[in-house]
Amino acid sequence: MKFSTVAIVLSTSAVALADNCRTGLNYCSQTLMNKGNYQAQLDQAAFDYNKSWMQYDQAQPGGGQGLLFTCRGGRNGLIEFVRNCPNGCIDAGDWTSDYCK
């Protein structure tokens, strides 16, 4: 009995730590990385648009902020590439779309 209670608490905690993007909002790549496990989705979205977000972002001031994505939503927080941000990307905070400088 004690084990099942601990397992439920741990699984609930793990779900709370994973934060999906909010449908309709735009996100800087670094914002998505800070949100959760978006590495594979960022790589795929960038690849789909012939971009290498890792190489591009590392050249940006502060690193990891050179590309903008939009959240399509769904169970896994599906994202889609929007555009390059040559001058960097601004994290506008929760409930607000990020944007290019």
> Token pair of 79, please?
């994202």
Tens of each residue's pLDDT in the chain, 101 residues: 454 444 443 333 334 445 789 999 999 988 998 888 888 888 888 777 776 555 555 444 444 457 899 999 888 889 998 988 888 899 999 899 999 99
Q: Is residue 48 part of a domain?
A: yes
Q: Is residue 5 part of a domain?
A: no
Closest CA to 19 of 100, 27, 55, 45: 27
> Token pair of 78, please?
């599906």
Q: Give the count of domains, the chain.
A: 1
Q: Is residue 23 part of a domain?
A: yes
In sequence order, the β-bridge partners of residue 69 are 27, 81
Segments forming the whole domain that contains residue 62: 19-100
How many of the other CB atoms lie within 10 Å of CB of 69?
A: 27
Q: Is residue 14 part of a domain?
A: no
The predicted model scores a pTM of 0.69
What pLDDT sits at residue 84? 84
